[in-house]
Amino acid sequence: MEDLKQLVEAVHRELGSKLEEGKVADYIPQLAKVPLKKFGIAVATVEGDLVTVGDAEEAFSIQSISKLFTLTMALGRWGERLWARVDREPSGSRFNSIVQLEHEHGKPRNPFINAGAIAVTDAVLSGSQPKEAIGSILRFMRFLAADDDITIDPRVARSEQATGHRNFALAHFMRSFDVIEHPPAEVLGVYFHQCAIAMSCAQLARSGLFLAAEGRNPLTGHRVVSAARARRLNSMMMMCGHYDGAGDFAFRVGLPGKSGVGGGILAIVPGKAAVAVWSPGLDANGNSHVGTAALELLARRAGWSVFG
Amino acid sequence: MEDLKQLVEAVHRELGSKLEEGKVADYIPQLAKVPLKKFGIAVATVEGDLVTVGDAEEAFSIQSISKLFTLTMALGRWGERLWARVDREPSGSRFNSIVQLEHEHGKPRNPFINAGAIAVTDAVLSGSQPKEAIGSILRFMRFLAADDDITIDPRVARSEQATGHRNFALAHFMRSFDVIEHPPAEVLGVYFHQCAIAMSCAQLARSGLFLAAEGRNPLTGHRVVSAARARRLNSMMMMCGHYDGAGDFAFRVGLPGKSGVGGGILAIVPGKAAVAVWSPGLDANGNSHVGTAALELLARRAGWSVFG
Amino acid sequence: MEDLKQLVEAVHRELGSKLEEGKVADYIPQLAKVPLKKFGIAVATVEGDLVTVGDAEEAFSIQSISKLFTLTMALGRWGERLWARVDREPSGSRFNSIVQLEHEHGKPRNPFINAGAIAVTDAVLSGSQPKEAIGSILRFMRFLAADDDITIDPRVARSEQATGHRNFALAHFMRSFDVIEHPPAEVLGVYFHQCAIAMSCAQLARSGLFLAAEGRNPLTGHRVVSAARARRLNSMMMMCGHYDGAGDFAFRVGLPGKSGVGGGILAIVPGKAAVAVWSPGLDANGNSHVGTAALELLARRAGWSVFG
Amino acid sequence: MEDLKQLVEAVHRELGSKLEEGKVADYIPQLAKVPLKKFGIAVATVEGDLVTVGDAEEAFSIQSISKLFTLTMALGRWGERLWARVDREPSGSRFNSIVQLEHEHGKPRNPFINAGAIAVTDAVLSGSQPKEAIGSILRFMRFLAADDDITIDPRVARSEQATGHRNFALAHFMRSFDVIEHPPAEVLGVYFHQCAIAMSCAQLARSGLFLAAEGRNPLTGHRVVSAARARRLNSMMMMCGHYDGAGDFAFRVGLPGKSGVGGGILAIVPGKAAVAVWSPGLDANGNSHVGTAALELLARRAGWSVFG
């Protein structure tokens, strides 16, 4: 624990000088306002320890990291039938590409590109009103993090709604193939709210801990998913969690992870820990530049790579 | 060891009834002649044990599994500069697709699709004659397996040469972008021979063991690559080792692996073992149908998944 | 005139037996109800004659033929600046493809595929309310046909609105690239109404006559466009008027033409006549099966091909 | 005749100042040596007149214009069965794209993109040796131009052979789908020689005259093709004769035409004349920059557009 703390602090210190190298997401106006110099790291271990450094207690927009949690919810509800709606192969395309959808009859390649995440949200929405679905997702996040202070930032949700034409295009396209069931405006209403959930690194690390611990949250003792499903969720994060930079993340970091354009990344060290980093500057693939570097350094020094 | 033997035998027995479900590769005439009922499994452990069952001592055409070994050779020679020639992202396309090449100026997506493997072979060939390069590759395989009986099947090499128009198209296409340096006929002469290497499951498992043991072959004590490179090779196998079925393999098996259309798969259990399976019947993505199922069962029962 | 009448009647008679071969458009429920046996031909000559046969006086949904007229309006308003919004090359894709848009930054290939026509409608809408724009388009059609009885079928417009997810996808996609200026729902509100204009072959032939007569309507004496623009509109129809069947139409008929999924086709014989045919059964490319055959026969017997 | 001469001379004079604006094809070394200032125009009329101006008597490499003549030969031999090997739709892609081939099972979109022309040459080659086929093509050109001095430039043929990797890729790709029958090296041996035919504007205009005269060469009285086939060849030139600039050529010039990267364009005025221009500077689509402008001006002033 003391060693881990020193390790995390060293990584935070060494990478602090690189915070200006990335570029804040500018296509969502609310996100463009976040200062480049924010940088936090939190590590939650399966033994119940939590190490935080820098801005690890400050909430930021989790954006696409939410896709991991709605996928968990949708699998809980639909089980393996969910895979009839969305495939689970890496896409080889940008996060918002529509080309693949046309070539494959509207079925998204995986649940972590935008199209696939929208299809998953459609599955979560099934049978309820948008407001209820948003409530369920928020409650699930509070349950996972064991923290009732988690909220949704309504300005971010509105900002995405106003500028989300590409996502509307994806949703209408899938609707035309009956891949999603609900009106695009309803599905996206939920989707934009899930992306606007604000959480800190500490909250995120705790929320992801069940994936490092065979499906059970060691902090609360609650079983979230079966051990087999936890493994599979980890495999999905490894293969598809970083859009068209998934190969690079696996090569450099060697851990399952899911990134968001808010600059957050949640990575899982199976059997050991969940790690959340936040640094808003992004690389060309839309993943946190310093966040990735921090995970790379941390994984190397701690010997965490799943690849040996 | 005894437990492992029983486990492997049980898996072999249980899956024996499914051997007729796959389809032997028919686009290479020599491979089409291999009987569907062949089925072998070999596990080499980092402690030095070797467990074999079924047809694990019979040589078969390793085909694309060779791409892993030429990549290892090319990295040894060119180091990280190799990545200027070939990317390392999953492709989201079939193994022989040319579409991605046109969209990305002739640079292949990763070293395990055909285009990328041809570019890697071009790097291996650099500075030598085709015959010498073929000799080097064969010697490297003998060194890894610690077995001088490994040979190349000249009928398979000729069969691929005669029917390999798609590969000629890929090579000429890359040559037009100066991604490969040598005349396509020379590069492919080497490539078809590396694919025609014949090895048994036992030989393959031994050859891959360095990847499970931080880059050092525990049987011979030879260091093959650094620990960091072994991790990275494993990450490449995880992300790109099964073409457009990589996501499915990660989801079901949870191990880095590389398949070949001869029906072989080499999988790595980091820190523990290398596993080779052989069953010639293929699924729609060109990966061994029963071989994948055997690895899935084995990984589940042995708790080998890298994902927890 | 008497000869022309006999020629048209002969063609109508000979092709009447093939009306069951096509397939009525079924993706717009209102269109699916139109009987397959409807078949009309109208020829308006630059001398002022009008020959009609069969169901040539019955109104049908002109659908994509409207794209020709909104293009004429948009060019009248924006001049050659319009080409900054939409290109003028054949697309080599289906009428509703979105792939090309992604590859070319949201700029549609030509004004006759759906994406391009939506961009043209956006240009027509500029500066007015949707209702006013719909009124302007309807008035323009009445002016061209010199017939105040032309109306819009509100059931067809509603039917398209309810099922037009693919068009919503195209519009949102272009909006995300700022290729269109107005909210997609507004642009498509106008677009679905222009497609729902109901006209007879006789009305259509008269409306297109200015394109055969150097831009001036010989029936009314009104100049609609300059002679140069009439030539260019004809060239656009030739190159792009039949989606992915443009080459086939040019090969078989040899005239500029624009088809609609309602089963209508308007073809221009430069210097001589405008011809409208209607038969609701469509071929695989979405063009009227018997309508195309009728134009082919007519053009051959009358020696109308522009190609000699 | 005197008027036509003055018209052609005026166009030649007016555009002479723009010769530096284009860019000589540089991917075939032999072509890169041709001076930018070359500029010739020849008009052959169906009445038997020939008007020439500038460098209209100097031979240049006809390159892709040869595709029109091999298509004529292949149709003569295979008739409409030829369309089983090659489609006749505009491609919406660059002349050497391979993407469309993969999406459409190796069948080229039209006979004027490189892939389609190679498939046509394969059809011409059928049943003979490459040398014989080259001889037949050369004899056909001499017959059409009524001029035995036409030759093939062997340096250009060798230059294309040495740098033609993209064409080898296309040929092998089609061979893998059995779209072409002969070994790629044989087909391309013929193809590179047909592209290396050297002709002057005067010779080209005479050779194309049959297409303006219902299939009969008015100079020699020989029937080359039926009137229907002449029309169809003209339609193919209109739709596909300028690669991804076909729409622009139709819009600006309004005539069927076929261009080559040597800077030549052959255009047909049905019923009236064949026009050949030569100016080696190319635009972004690979078509002669000044050549296109000259045809645009000529067609406008002479009222030659087929579109009215």
**ipTM field:** 0.95
pLDDT digits (tens, 9 = 90+) for A143-181: 999 999 999 999 999 998 888 999 999 999 999 999 999
The dihedral region occupied by D221, where left means phi > 0, alpha psi between -120 and 50, and beta the remainder, is left
What does the pLDDT read at residue C6?
97
pLDDT for A22? 86
Position of tokens 């080998």?
B304
| Cβ atoms of residues B303 and B254 within 8 Å | no
Over residues D125-141, the pLDDT tens digits come to 999 999 999 999 999 99
pLDDT at position A121, please?
A: 98
Average confidence (pLDDT) over D294-301: 98
Partners of D61 in the beta sheet?
D198
Sheet holding D50-54, edge to edge: D50-54, D40-45, D273-278, D264-269, D257-259
pLDDT surpassing 80 at residue B27 = no
Nearest to D251 among C91, C212, C232 (CB): C232
Give all strands of the β-sheet with A197-199 in edge-to-edge order. A60-61, A197-199, A151-152
Name the residue among C99, C165, C176 with its Cβ closest to that of A166: C176
pLDDT at residue C100 greater than cutoff 90: no
**How many Cβ atoms are within 10 Å of B33's Cβ, its own excluded?**
12
> Is the Cβ–Cβ distance between B22 and B288 less than 8 Å?
yes
Say what the pLDDT of residue C26 is: 81
Residues 6+ apart with CB under 8 A from A81: none
DSSP per-residue string spanning C114-158: HHHHHHHHHHHHTTS-HHHHHHHHHHHHHHHHT-TT-EE-HHHHH
Q: Do D231 and C256 touch (CB under 8 A)?
A: no
Instruction: Look at the block and give the residue holding tokens 């040929």.
Output: D171
Determine whether the interchain pair A103/C99 forms a contact, defined as Cβ–Cβ distance below 8 Å.
Answer: yes
CB contact at 8 A, A119 and A111: yes
Judge whether D285 is annotated as a binding position. no
Provide the percentage of residues in chain B whose pLDDT is more than 90: 87
* pLDDT given at position D94: 78
> Which of these, A237, A241, A234, A236, lies nearest to A286 by C-alpha position?
A241
Helix/strand/coil percent split, chain A, to 5: 50, 10, 35
The yes-or-no verdict on residue C38 having pLDDT over 80 is: yes
Q: What is the pLDDT of residues A175-190, one digit of tens each?
A: 999 999 999 999 999 9
Mean pLDDT of A108-126: 96
CA C37 to chain centroid, in Å, comes to: 21
Contact partners, residue B238, CB within 8 Å, separation at least 6: A238, A239, A250, A307, B246, B250, B255, B256, B257, B306
Q: How far does B240 lie from chain D, in Å, by closest CA?
A: 21
Q: What is the set of domains in chain D, with CATH numbers?
A: 2-63+198-302 (3.40.710.10), 66-196 (3.40.710.10)
Mean of pLDDT values over D64-90: 96
Burial of C160 (0-12, 13-18, 19+ CB in 10 A): buried
Chains that touch A (3 or more CB pairs under 8 A): B, C
| Confidence (pLDDT) at C4 | 96
Query: How large is the average pLDDT for residues C274-292?
Result: 95
Provide the number of CB pairs (under 8 Å) joining chain C to chain D.
125
Q: Rounded CA gap, C168 and C159, in Å?
A: 14
Give DSSP secondary structure letters for C271-285.
TTEEEEEE---B-TT
The upper half-sphere exposure of residue B142, i.e. CA atoms within 13 Å in the direction of its Cβ, equals: 12
Q: Which residue has the tokens 């927009």?
A: A61
Q: What is the mean pLDDT of residues A128-141?
A: 98
pLDDT > 90 fraction of chain C, expressed in percent and rounded: 87
Active site residue A93: no
Per the annotation, does C261 bind a ligand? yes
Q: Judge whether A242 and B86 are in contact, CB under 8 Å.
A: no
Residue among A98, A168, A184 minimizing CB distance to C102: A98
Contacts of B239 in chain A (CB under 8 A): 90, 238-239, 246-247, 250-251
- Give the residue-averaged pLDDT of C2-26: 92
Looking at CA atoms only, how far is residue B252 from chain A in angstroms?
8
pTM tops 0.80, yes or no:
yes
Residues in contact with C7: Cβ distance below 8 Å, sequence separation at least 6, in sequence order: C298, C301, C302
Inter-chain CB proximity D172 and B175 less than 8 Å: no
Which of D123, D126, D107, D125 has its CA nearest to residue D115?
A: D107
Residue of B nearest to D99 (CA): B99
Which stretch of A24-28, C263-267, C285-289 has the lowest confidence by average pLDDT?
A24-28
For the cut 80, the answer to whether the pLDDT of residue B46 exceeds it is yes
The whole-number pLDDT of residue B28 equals 82
In the predicted model, is pLDDT for residue D97 greater than 90?
Answer: no
When the pLDDT of each residue in chain D is averaged and rounded to a whole number, the result is 95
Q: Do D173 and B169 touch (CB under 8 A)?
A: yes
- Please state the rounded mean pLDDT for residues B48-59: 98
Q: Is C98 close to A169, i.e. CB distance below 8 A? A: yes
CB-CB under 8 Å, B247 with A89: yes
Task: Tally C-beta pairs within 8 A across B and D.
Answer: 51
- Lowest-confidence region among A149-158, B28-37, B225-234, D188-197: B28-37
pLDDT of B31: 87
Residue D176 with chain B: CB contacts under 8 Å: 165-166, 169
B80 burial (CB, 10 Å; 0-12 / 13-18 / 19+) is exposed
D243: exposed, middle or buried (C-beta count within 10 Å: 0-12, 13-18, 19+)?
buried
How close is the nearest chain C Cα to the Cα of D84, in Å?
Answer: 14
pLDDT recorded at residue D297: 98
Q: Quick one: what percent of chain B has pLDDT higher than 70?
A: 100
Q: Do D239 and C247 touch (CB under 8 A)?
A: yes
Please give the annotated binding residues of B, written as ranges.
Answer: 64, 114, 160, 167, 191, 243, 261
Summarize the annotated binding site of B for substrate as residue ranges: 64, 114, 160, 167, 191, 243, 261
Average pLDDT, chain B: 95
CB D203 within 8 A of CB D150: yes
Q: Among C191, C224, C275, C279, which one carries the catalytic annotation?
A: C191
